[in-house]
Structure 1
Amino acid sequence: MKTNPTLYQWAGDIQTFEILFESFYYQVLKDNLLGGVFKDMSSQHIKHVAHFVAQVFGGPSLYTSEDRGSHAIMIGHHIGKMLNEEQRQRWVQLLLLTADELALKSDPEFRSAFVGYLEWGTRIAVINSQLVNNPMASEEPMPTWGWGETGGPFVQGN
């Protein structure tokens, strides 16, 4: 029985994600709306984001092992940043434009999952950016994203 590839496998490999985010953040730093938000990012930021998204998409656990990150740490990077909807939308727009420029897989199924994750993740980032304390416990698992599964703001059993 053949199993479906992960989003990571379908997209390519770790280099695919590293090139995507290197190219993307190059554009972000030049952007009038986002440049100021990211001008002081660490030298490791781009690699960490690439590793985080690759891991969420079913790739190797580089973010949690090599980068010593966690979901709580990623959430923590957004606390107090006071991001707004216009910045969120521009971030998504620039990433999708970069994906197109680099010819990231563009089949409807992959792009649907990719956009779904970007919408979910960036909306969480904006919510958490309004907080002063990290709401996530350090032992919370990393999110995983597949071909169509979604979480929800609901509690099962209600």
Structure 2
Amino acid sequence: MDSLRGKTIYEALGGPEGIRSLVEAFYPKVQQEPLLGPLFPEDITPVIEKQYLFLSQFFGGPPLYSEQYGHPMMRARHMPFPVTVERAEAWLGCMSRALAETVSDPELRAAVLERLKGPAYHFINS
């Protein structure tokens, strides 16, 4: 893909600042999404921070999440929550809108969404 040109997604997104911008654009959308909002705590700050750590690592940056919390084991961590196909798609929709706000390169937006589809659908448990 031309927009990555040997870079990790983490680097292409702008490193820590780019990941932070994406996560901060994403979570207000999640909170407003009727299928997702009720699954999250009112104080979403800790969730935002964990997502920042995880996406940094997931997209090829430093292993921030693992350093703080151990192996991500994201499917297991999501098991207490009813994750349906509809919720996975709503989550991806929120991410798509956040990417549209924070990433100008359409190829990079597509690569990020493609990379996130695997986990989003892997977490389905209901």
Q: TM-score range by the shorter chain?
A: 0.7 to 0.9
Which residue is equivalent to 1:11? 13
Q: CA deviation at 1:45?
A: 1.4
Which residue is equivalent to 1:25? 27
SS of aligned partner of 1:64? helix
Separation of aligned partners in 1, 2:40 and 2:53: 18
Does residue 34 (structure 1) correspond to residue 36 (structure 2)? The answer is: yes
Higher helix share goes to which structure? 2
Separation of aligned partners in 1, 2:55 and 2:37: 21
Which residue is equivalent to 2:88? 88
Q: CA deviation at 1:40?
A: 5.2
Name the amino acid aligned to 2:88: R
32, 39, 57: which one aligns with 1:55: 57
* Deviation digits for residues 55-106 of structure 1 (CA, Å, limit 9, x no counterpart): 11111111111x323222x33220131211111111101111111012x142
Which residue is equivalent to 2:117? 119
Which residue is equivalent to 2:105? 106
Larger-gyration structure (1/2): 1
Aligned residues of 1:48 and 1:63 also touching (Cα < 8 A): yes
TM-score by length of 2: 0.83
Aligned length: 122
- What 5-or-longer segments of structure 1 have no aligned partner? 131-158
Identity of aligned residues (%): 25
